[in-house]
Amino acid sequence: MTGLVLMAMATSASADDVDGNLAPIDDWSLSIAPYAWAAGMKGTVASLPGLPPVGVDASFQDLLENLDIGIMVSTELRYRRWAAFSDILYINLSADADTPAGILFDNIDVDQETFIGTFAGAYRAFDDGGTFIDVMAGVRVWSVDTRLTLDGGLLADQEREHNENWLDPMIGAKARYQFGNGIFLNGVVQIGGFGAASDFFWDVFGGVGYQFNDSISAVAGYRHLEEDYERNGFVFDVEMSGPVLGAVIRF
């Protein structure tokens, strides 16, 4: 059950993954991009120190069955060759089940709130009007709050809660190739951790987009992320993959 709850993390996607409509280098712009990442998860997790790690192999459909609320949005502020962007993900996921025998406890409830934020700066190293390459550096912040409640039965009700926070340094690059007629390809590569918090993570995305006009575009593609974090009994060693769909509004 703990592993199923941690699937909330699988819907993370950064601003780079969905924003294929960046501003010309001679002007200010602000982009706002709601998105969704329909990812499954495989790996090993332990969200409550003291409990043994569990293996996870779950699909995106499993996540939807336990999702209470999900908010995913990214923003980018660009001036000429320089940009600052943020990506915010908040997920509240809950699950409950009756215990098999119902003697010591009748019911188990698990609730998890997950926040993932990416904050970075970028510099446009190459731009010929249709193709560009940006280099980037920043941080990725994780916060996972897990609460386990045991109700009823012979023993008194019990509740356990743990909040884990960590910050990973990150470097990467993103690129776009314009075919014409509004169609473009874009890709993103990010790596980080380097032992500062996570041992290492890597994050890649590739997709195709369509620019409807100067203000609105859309991107569809595929993303794969691997994260390896473990500290004081908390374990998050997983890989997450799935399709990404996003819309970008530029002002």
Q: In this predicted structure, what is the pLDDT of residue 62? A: 77
Q: Are 250 and 214 in contact (CB under 8 A)?
A: yes
Q: Which of 187, 177, 199, 164 is nearest to 244 (CA)?
A: 187
CA dist., res. 80 & res. 235, Å (int): 41
CA dist., res. 156 & res. 63, Å (int): 30
pTM: 0.80
pLDDT by residue (tens digit) across 133-142?
999 999 999 8
Place of tokens 């998105």: 35
Positions in the chain whose pLDDT score sits under 50:
1-25, 98, 101-105
pLDDT by residue (tens digit) across 154-209?
555 567 788 999 999 999 999 999 998 999 998 989 999 999 999 999 989 999 99
Q: In this predicted structure, what is the pLDDT of residue 68? A: 77
Q: In this predicted structure, what is the pLDDT of residue 209? A: 93
Q: In this predicted structure, what is the pLDDT of residue 111? A: 82
